[in-house]
Amino acid sequence: MWRPSVVVLIFLMSLVSSASADGPMPLPFGPAASQAHAPWHVTGLPNQVKPYTAFSVVEADGQKALRIEAASSYGNLVYPLQLTSTPAALTWRWRADELVDAEDLRTRSGDDVAVKVCVMFDMSLEKVPFVERQLLKVARTKSVDPVPAATVCYVWDAHLPIGTTLDNAFTRRIRYKVLQSGTGHLHQWMSERRNIGADFTEMFGAESSEVPPVIGVLVGADADNTHGHSLAHVADIVIEP
């Protein structure tokens, strides 16, 4: 897996979707038997030396999907956006095949998840609490990729009840909402539709009364803290106006 250089990042940003989302906007991964096509690109931690989560486009149950496999690894697949209006909803389908048994999103040692779909918001730094603002500024100096001030992540958790919301154990700039939990629907495709603005307000409304512009969608999985293994698939991500 790779991380984009500054030159590659400039090229990717030239492909960014910039629109008012007047109609449904699919975010296709590309053809099967390949890596996800630009502007999708893999990102990781600053100066990451641990393995990257593996992303590939495959045929799953007769349909094209993104295969996501984590093995003591970390990594995200990001689709940059520059939308001129806040989308009404994000829809997708996902299937978990193997969860991270030892995960516990409430702790740093257990902060792993088999699959997540996230929305990144360009929230003003002025709205971020002072200490977190300083940490965010430092994080931005260490990454060639955008580091949003607010990210809402929808997760398929191994244990937490559906509907649970919580902060990321490492940074409150990322907040989780559990949409699926446990093994009851393992190996089954599940469809999701989320009101982006409502979820932002639920989790970040105390900091911002307005919903900021959406600057990207992220798909990921990690098993670096628990040294576990997971496998999942995601398909048909669509931004709805």
C-alpha 51/C-alpha 1 separation (Å) is 8
**Residue length, the chain?**
241
Question: Residue 32 region, left (φ>0) first, then alpha (ψ -120 to 50), else beta?
Answer: beta
pLDDT digits (tens, 9 = 90+) for 11-55: 444 445 554 557 899 999 999 998 999 999 999 998 899 999 999
For residue 187, the one-letter residue type is: H
Domain ranges of the chain: 6-240
User: What is the mean predicted confidence (pLDDT) over 235-241?
Assistant: 96
pLDDT, position 3:
39
**H helices, E strands: number in the chain:** 3, 14
- Inter-residue contact 223 to 230 (CB < 8 Å): yes
Average pLDDT of the chain to the nearest whole number: 91
DSSP per residue over 166-204, as a string? Answer: EE-SS-TTEEEEEEEESSTTTTS-EEEEEEHHHHHHHHH
pLDDT, position 46:
87
The helix, strand and coil proportions of the chain, stated in percent and rounded to the nearest 5, come to 15, 40, 45
Residue with the bigger pLDDT between 3 and 195: it is 195
Q: Which of 60-69, 131-140, 210-219 has the lowest mean pLDDT?
A: 131-140
User: What is the mean predicted confidence (pLDDT) over 194-199?
Assistant: 97
In the numeric block, the tokens 């398909």 are attached to 235
User: What is the mean predicted confidence (pLDDT) over 107-118?
Assistant: 98
User: What is the mean predicted confidence (pLDDT) over 87-112?
Assistant: 97
**Angle at CA of residue 171, ends 65 and 117, nearest 5°:** 15
pLDDT, position 142:
86
Helix (H) or strand (E) holding 134: helix 130-141
Question: Residue 236 region, left (φ>0) first, then alpha (ψ -120 to 50), else beta?
Answer: left
pLDDT, position 23:
86
Pairing of strands 89-98, 229-240: antiparallel
pLDDT, position 15:
44
User: What is the mean predicted confidence (pLDDT) over 73-77?
Assistant: 98
**In 3D, which of 189, 214, 221 has the Cα closest to residue 105?**
221
For residue 205, the one-letter residue type is: G
Which residue(s) pair with 68 in the sheet? 55, 232
Model-level pTM?
0.90
Largest CA distance in the chain: 50
pLDDT digits (tens, 9 = 90+) for 130-187: 999 998 899 888 877 778 999 999 999 999 999 999 999 999 999 999 999 999 999 9
CB proximity list for 138: less than 8 A, separation 6 or greater: none
Could you say which architecture CATH assigns to the domain 6-240?
Answer: Sandwich (2.60)
C-alpha 94/C-alpha 107 separation (Å) is 25
pLDDT, position 190:
98
C-alpha 155/C-alpha 230 separation (Å) is 13
